[in-house]
Amino acid sequence: MEEKDWILLKTLYEQQNITKVAEILYVSQPSLSYRIQQLEKEFGVTIMHRGRRGIEFTPQGEYLTKYAKDMLLQLQQTKEHLLSMDNKISGVLKICTASSLARYKLPVILKQFHSNYPDVEFKVTSNRSSDIPNSVYKQDVHIGFVRGDYHWSEEKHLIMTENVWIVSKKEVSLTELPTLPRIIYKTDLSLDNLVENWWKDTYSKPATITMEVDNMETCKEMVLSGFGYAIMPAIVLKDNEDLFRIQLRTKHGEPILRNSWMIYRKESLEIPSIHAFVSFIKDQHLM
């Protein structure tokens, strides 16, 4: 097996679809099928079965796929180590981040870092905060930026703390909130739980939800259009927007805050580019 075979198996396992894999790897489907047949012949096993619902890996195929992933990880680590041997700050920095941080905070940070270290390239992906720790743990990425407080046993750094607000186009009061139209949006579990727990501690009846949208930005636009109120973190709000705001607080009057973290593995600091990036972030004051 060669590197291209490792990539093939890994991509097949992730996509479970021959057509998609062929598009991703820029090869024809016949060429892809032929290479799979050659691998099966080389190892004397059946790697997968094809059916109406897609492809299904055999136990032998899953074992080969695990081997392929391990080899790709070792190759990546070897390349990174070789680059680090002369302590040059270069290479590809792989980051996985919550989408709101990717939109509102990360571009400025990466621009500043890149001006200091122009030989570093970035590969940035977005994911749910709950899934990011696993990506960092498996070393699929070097750095994770998560929204909310998730269990992480290795290194982490608090990058931002923000308020959570009730926002409306017109002035509202806390007492009338359960009867007013509320707009909700899809977000990560930690924010959902934070808002839900506050609501249960404050009210004895459910909210009057009249609209659901797919993200915070759309939700804010609906609020600005007067369709109802919403509860959202400060990251999506601007100071000059014409919105009435009430800060989310506990029964004792303490502000309810939302944390964002940078997470990484301690061993990855041996790579100069990662060490430089972590140090750079620690010197920043995002909020």
pLDDT by residue (tens digit) across 157-199?
999 999 999 999 999 999 999 999 999 999 988 999 999 999 9
**Number of domains, the chain:** 3
CATH code of the domain in which 267 resides: 3.40.190.10
The range of the structural domain enclosing residue 33 comes to: 3-82
If asked whether residues 145 and 194 sit together in one domain, one would say: no
Distances (CA, A) of 239 to 93, 243, 244, 251: 33, 9, 11, 26
**Domain endpoint, select from 40, 67, 82:** 82
pLDDT, tens digit, 9 for 90 and up, residues 224-267: 999 999 999 999 998 888 899 999 999 999 999 999 999 999 99
Whether residues 170 and 227 share a domain: the answer is yes
Q: Are both 166 and 109 inside the same structural domain?
A: no
56 and 72 within one domain = yes
Residue 83 confidence class, pLDDT cut points 50, 70, 90: low
Does residue 287 fall inside a structural domain?
no
Residue 271 inside a domain? The answer is yes
In a domain, 9, yes or no: yes
- One domain, residues 219 and 234: yes
* pLDDT of 87 above 80: no
CATH number for the domain including 31?
1.10.10.10
- In sequence order, the β-bridge partners of residue 212 are 184
67 and 207 co-located in one domain: no
Give CA–CA dist 220/167, Å, rounded: 8
Instruction: Say if residue 104 is in the same domain as residue 230.
Output: no
**99 and 117 part of one domain:** yes
**Are 172 and 247 found together in one domain?**
yes
- pTM of the entire structure? 0.70
**144 and 270 housed in the same domain:** yes
What is the Cα–Cα distance from 148 to 260, expressed in whole angstroms? Answer: 6
Q: Is residue 241 part of a domain?
A: yes
